[in-house]
Amino acid sequence: MGYPKLPSRQENFAEWYNQVVLRAELADYAPVRGCMVVRPYGWALWENIQKALDQRFKATGHQNAAFPLLIPMSFFEREKEHVEGFAPELAVVTHGGGKKLEEPLAVRPTSETIIGYMWSKWIRSYRDLPMLLNQWGNVVRWELRTKLFLRTLEFYWQEGHTAHATREEAEEETLRMLRVYEDFAVNEAAIPVIPGQKSESEKFAGAVHTYTIEAMMGDTKALQAGTSHFLGQNFARAFDIQFLDADNQLKYVWTTSWGLSTRFIGAIIMVHGDDQGLVLPPRLAPIQVVIVPIWRDDAQRSQVLEMAQRLQRQLGQRFRVHLDDRDHVTPGFKFNDWELRGVPVRVEIGPRDVANQVVTLARRDQPGKAGRTTAAWEGLEDRIAALLDDIHDSLLRRATAFRDAHLHRPETYDELGQVVQNGWALVGWCGRAECEARIKADFKATNRCLPFVEHRPTEAPTRCIVCGEPARHWAIFAKAY
């Protein structure tokens, strides 16, 4: 009978997710609780994410660097809110080389402190600014409840860190990078996101304010898919990062940080996946085109394989192509297998196709007969290029329609409670933490963000959905990962 079917997304979304990750061989559980191994297919996806982001970071003037994994414990105590936020989830090295260390070392949960420390040595003059750095690396946060990709004790990410001479410049940078994330999410991952500002209670520990891109998963829960923080002078003061400005005055720098992690892979899975498994956005898919040859006997086998290999070479010039020439599994098995792995386009070639100088194209976003067409060898590359773009567009359209269909504007507190059971609520909010806390306590929904202007109603909000006092913001409340 082969493999058991995946649980459907409808019946058990959480289990569907786990099974997809494991069976598509994106990742596996590591021997330590809460840690994961990213398998080659998952890592290839991450590498494509890295490329797409890194290119954007370079284009906006950033350089990559690498700061160490181990940070003196005392660094975390220099910024009050930062230590309060991160102390509970620090992993600490107390011994080295068989001896107890004089000062324990924290395994970085994020690198503001060590980078701040280094900057205090490097930055002397306004001519040294802006300092625009990024690092690709891993961090450790001792989370209590973990889930593959979404929340693991160790995760991979990029963290950008910048220092500026003025507040305005730093604020601009914070928003610029949020928009870079938005552009990446939409144009590479086909994930529609709502950019916005985090409330006081949801912002990063040590930030003046935090911006986020929020994405709706297939079960309507929200996922913070990327964040950008304006850190003000908090870390500059904590680490004494001062520069001599053009006016000969000694000033503290203004800093930012922004990050996007392997969690984003979880977003890709949960936004696009279907009951057959993964559906990867074409621009990030490790394999964009898989060729499945079909034959009956040895004569057909050699004929079809030869053509399949030619196609592989030809298409390989423009796309990431894989030829599945395994001869111990049937074509039907391969169809299911590659659908599970989310490959956007499948090229089937059998004896009939060879005779007619055509192939059968199957698009992953439309499983079954609906997504199948016949295409001539002539001009196949252009045909596939157009198909990949079309798949990207339709994934984005589908995800946007889904999100909009589940983004509601409840009028009453009770309605809010209803709506967040299966969607997001866009409501007026007075800005007080008590009201946020009450929604969380009553409905398990949190304040995801105060959406930017293009994502809020044109009119001003009237009353806070909770207390009825005059509203100061439009806010999105939702259950979240």
SS (H, E, C) 164-191: ECCHHHHHHHHHHHHHHHHHHHHHCCCC
CB-based contact 242:233 (threshold 8 Å): no
Query: 249: which 2 tokens?
Result: 């005055």
Regarding 155 and contact with RNA (CB under 7 A), the answer is yes
Query: 267: which 2 tokens?
Result: 């977003």
Q: Which of 24, 129, 150, 231 binds RNA (CB under 7 A)?
A: 150
Between 90 and 165, CB nearer to RNA: 90
Regarding 19 and contact with RNA (CB under 7 A), the answer is no
Between 368 and 379, CB nearer to RNA: 368
Q: Which of residues 245-264 bind RNA (CB under 7 A)?
A: 259, 261-263
Q: Which of 38, 71, 236, 362 binds RNA (CB under 7 A)?
A: 362
Regarding 327 and contact with RNA (CB under 7 A), the answer is yes
**Site track for RNA across 162-201, x = CB under 7 A:** ----------------------------------------
CB-based contact 344:365 (threshold 8 Å): yes
Regarding 3 and contact with RNA (CB under 7 A), the answer is yes
b/e sequence 208-241, b meaning 16+ C-beta within 10 Å: bbbbbbbbbbbbbbbbbbbbbbbbbbbbbebbeb
Cβ-proximal residues to 43 (8 Å cutoff; 6+ apart), any chain: none
Regarding 276 and contact with RNA (CB under 7 A), the answer is yes
Between 123 and 159, CB nearer to RNA: 159
Between 12 and 462, CB nearer to RNA: 12
Beta bridge partners of 63: 133
Q: What CA–CA distance (Å, rounded) separates 19 from 274? A: 12
**Site track for RNA across 22-61, x = CB under 7 A:** -------x--xxx---------------------------
Regarding 353 and contact with RNA (CB under 7 A), the answer is yes
Window of 2-10, 115-123, 130-138, 385-393 that interacts with RNA by CB under 7 A: 2-10
Between 144 and 453, CB nearer to RNA: 144
**Site track for RNA across 82-111, x = CB under 7 A:** ---x--xx----------------------
Between 259 and 273, CB nearer to RNA: 259
Number of alpha helices (DSSP H) and beta strands (DSSP E) in the chain: 14, 23
**Site track for RNA across 395-434, x = CB under 7 A:** ----------------------------------------
Transcribe 326-386 into DSSP letters.
-SSS-HHHHHHHHHHTT-SEEEEE-HHHHHHTEEEEEETTSTTGGGEEEEESTTHHHHHHH
Q: Which of 9, 62, 82, 141 binds RNA (CB under 7 A)?
A: 141
Regarding 11 and contact with RNA (CB under 7 A), the answer is no
End-to-end CA distance of the chain: 35
Q: How many residues does the chain have?
A: 481
Beta bridge partners of 28: 37
Window of 42-50, 72-80, 140-148, 247-255 that interacts with RNA by CB under 7 A: 140-148
Q: Which of 78, 147, 318, 432 binds RNA (CB under 7 A)?
A: 147
Between 213 and 285, CB nearer to RNA: 213
SS (H, E, C) 16-46: HHHHHHHHCCCEEECCCCCCEEECHHHHHHH
Pairing, β 424-429 against β 407-408: parallel
Q: How far is the CB of 395 from RNA (least distance, A)?
A: 18
Regarding 335 and contact with RNA (CB under 7 A), the answer is yes
Between 67 and 333, CB nearer to RNA: 333
Q: How far is the CB of 298 from RNA (least distance, A)?
A: 8
Q: Which of residues 373-402 bind RNA (CB under 7 A)?
A: none
How many CB atoms sit inside 10 A of residue 248's CB?
6
**How many chain residues are in contact with RNA, going by CB under 7 A?**
65
Report cis status (omega within 30 of 0) of the bond before 7.
Answer: no
Q: Which of 144, 246, 250, 453 binds RNA (CB under 7 A)?
A: 144
Beta bridge partners of 361: 347, 373
Between 153 and 478, CB nearer to RNA: 153
Q: What CA–CA distance (Å, rounded) separates 44 from 61? A: 26
Beta bridge partners of 473: 429
Cβ-proximal residues to 18 (8 Å cutoff; 6+ apart), any chain: 147, 148
Query: 342: which 2 tokens?
Result: 């989310």
Which residues of this protein are in contact with RNA, per CB under 7 A? 1-6, 14, 18, 29, 32-34, 85, 88-89, 141, 143-147, 150-153, 155, 204, 224, 227, 259, 261-263, 276, 294-297, 301, 327-333, 335-337, 339-340, 348-353, 360, 362, 367-368, 372, 440, 444, 480
